[in-house]
Amino acid sequence: MRDVLADLMSIWHAGGTAGVATVVRTFHSAPRSPGAAMVVAPDGSVSGSISGGCIEGAVYELAAETARSGTPRLERYGISDDDAFAVGLTCGGVIDVFIEAISEEAFPELGAVADDLDAHRPVAIATVIAHPDPARLGRRLVVRPDAVSGSLGTARADAAVTDDARGLLATGRSEVLRYGPDGQRLGEGMDVFVASHAPRPRMLVFGAIDFAAALARQGSLLGYRVTVCDARPVFATRARFPTADEVVVDWPNRYLAAQAQAGAIDRHTVICVLTHDPKFDVPVLEVALRLDVGYVGAMGSRRTHDDRMVRLREAGLTDAELSRLASPIGLDLGARTPEETAVSIAADIIARRWGGGGGRLVDIGGRIHHDSGPTGNPATSSALTFPLYP
């Protein structure tokens, strides 16, 4: 939802009704993850995507119809062997899409949810997508770590889903949960899609150089909350890094240690050290390699890397800690310019997150999309979701 929220909120504030289609479940080689959404506005305009183009036309018509009727529906789309002209996914995957009408009257809590996302506060939306009683379809709970609003119809269902949604929210996962019609854990009949919206993961870029500016742009595209930090105020300016969320003037090691102490660093965090100066990069790497984060990379030549490793060992880092360092940073793409190098670094982060090998798909057999969750980051089926999160 995050990528369509601004358009959805414009409709919501204007008193209009939007048709919203959300991917809630995927099988096989599906193009988008659970949580991907498409919004059809009252004027017929569209934002977002749920399939990369395969089924958008059919879903558009259903979303427009649902906005008019107010009746939610769950649709399944997959490959059709019997009819080559049937609406389906050419990739061979299967997706379940829940289509609903959203307005201020239908979803009064949406404004508060938007405030949570803007303030980087975790929140989950649990929506009934299947139930024997059609009146229960589309009912929702808004679940926060310390509060809950809305209702799925009964106190028993609310209690069960609240507990489970908080568990999913803690790990950043979005998925469909199955219960009995009244929330019984050992039953079936009620399916609830929990969309977890954890705070955007952080990308910390140390070194206010031209490569950092290019990487900040890539990080923003991937959904990271980007901070650029450098001890030199003449270089660390907002004008040089307009796409970064924060530009900080501080010694990198001191800033990183303070952020870790404040609990602002977690295992989703990506750390890229581009200072290319041992008086900056060695102290900050001493801190970074001892933290439980998703990625630590450092820029430099082979000679710089060898010298850096000697200095880090002298500082007391173990072989296990040093093995976590991606240095020289990035994948071998033949990159030359800052922009190309930023793509190389982003590709390395993505490969490590999802367990990809970084090779050319044309040279690799088997399925394209990995079944497993991210490596180095908590397993998640949401796109909060990531960054890689919708």
Average pLDDT over residues 143-147: 94
pLDDT tens per residue, range 41-56? 999 999 998 876 668 8
Residue ending a domain, among 198, 225, 259, is 198
Mean pLDDT of 221-239: 93
As a whole number, the mean pLDDT across the chain is 87
Within-domain flag for 389? no
8 Å CB contact between 92 and 28: yes
DSSP secondary structure letters along 41-63: -TTS-EEE-SSTTSSHHHHHHHH
Number of separate domains in the chain: 3
pLDDT at residue 383 in the model: 32
Q: How confident is the model at residue 387 (pLDDT cuts 50, 70, 90)?
A: very low
273 beta partners: 206, 298
Whether 29 has a pLDDT exceeding 90, the answer reads: no
Number of neighbouring beta carbons within 10 Å of residue 180: 16
Least confident of 6-10, 49-53, 91-95, 142-146: 91-95
Q: What is the pLDDT of residues 310-352, one digit of tens each?
A: 999 999 999 999 999 999 999 999 999 999 999 999 999 999 8
Beta-carbon count within 10 A of 114 CB: 19
The span from the CA of 255 to the CA of 165, in Å, is: 34
With beta carbons less than 8 A apart as the criterion, state whether 161 and 150 touch: no
* pLDDT for the residue 57: 86
Give me the pLDDT at residue 370, please: 59
Which tokens belong to 207? 């070194």
Secondary structure of the chain: what % helix, strand, coil (to 5)? Answer: 30, 20, 45
Mean pLDDT on 268-276: 92
> In the predicted model, what is the mean pLDDT of residues 275-288?
92
Residue with tokens 């609003």: 149
In the numeric block, which tokens belong to residue 112? 């508060």
Residues 6+ apart with CB under 8 A from 388: 222, 223, 350, 353
Q: How many residues does the chain have?
A: 390
Q: Are 135 and 154 in contact (CB under 8 A)?
A: no
Last residue of a domain, one of 152, 180, 198: 198
Q: How confident is the model at residue 198 (pLDDT cuts 50, 70, 90)?
A: confident
Name the residue with higher pLDDT: 187 or 31. Answer: 187
Same domain, 101 and 137: no
Residue 187 has pLDDT above 50, yes or no: yes
307 and 213 belong to one structural domain: yes
Residue 374 pLDDT grade (very low, low, confident, very high; cuts 50, 70, 90): very low
Tokens of 97: 């899409």
Classify residue 170: in a domain, yes or no.
yes
40: which 2 tokens? 């059809």
- Does any domain span residue 310? yes
Q: Which of 166-170, 287-291, 370-374 has the highest mean pLDDT?
A: 287-291
Same domain, 228 and 94: no
Looking at the fold, whether 130 and 258 belong to one and the same domain comes out as: no
Confirm whether 289 is domain-assigned: yes
Looking at per-residue pLDDT, the higher value among 268 and 257 belongs to 257
Other Cβ atoms within 10 Å of 9 Cβ, number: 15
Same domain, 133 and 87: no
The reply to whether 100 and 45 lie within a common domain is yes
Q: Can you tell me the distance from the alpha carbon of 43 to that of 333, in angstroms, rounded to the nearest whole number?
A: 44
Is the same domain home to 225 and 336? yes
Least confidently predicted of 169-183, 194-208, 230-244, 348-362: 348-362
pLDDT at 378 over 90: no
Look at residue 366 and tell me if it is in a domain: no
Domain that includes residue 261, residue range: 202-353
Pairing of strands 123-130, 175-179: unpaired
Are 45 and 160 part of one and the same domain? no
Whether 17 is in a domain gets the answer yes
**385 part of a folded domain:** no
- Residues 147 and 96 reside in one and the same domain: no
Position 173 scores a pLDDT of 83
Closest CA to 214 of 228, 229, 235, 196: 228
H/E element, 156: helix 155-171
Between the alpha carbon of residue 76 and those of residues 59, 73, 188, 218, the distances in Å are 11, 10, 19, 34
Kindly provide the b/e burial profile for residues 15-36, where b requires at least 16 CB atoms within 10 angstroms of the residue's own CB: eebbbbbbbbbbeeebbbbbbb
Q: Are residues 219 and 340 in the same domain?
A: yes
- 377 belongs to a structural domain: no
Q: Is the model's pLDDT at 382 over the cut of 50?
A: no
CATH of the domain at 226: 3.40.50.720
What is the end-to-end Cα distance of the chain in Å, rounded? Answer: 6
Indicate whether this model's pTM tops 0.85. no
Residues 211 and 320 both lie in one domain: yes
Pairing of strands 246-249, 225-230: parallel
Mean pLDDT, residues 91-108 taken together:
89
Mark whether 291 and 170 lie in a shared domain: no
Q: Which of 107, 140, 157 is the last residue of a domain?
A: 107
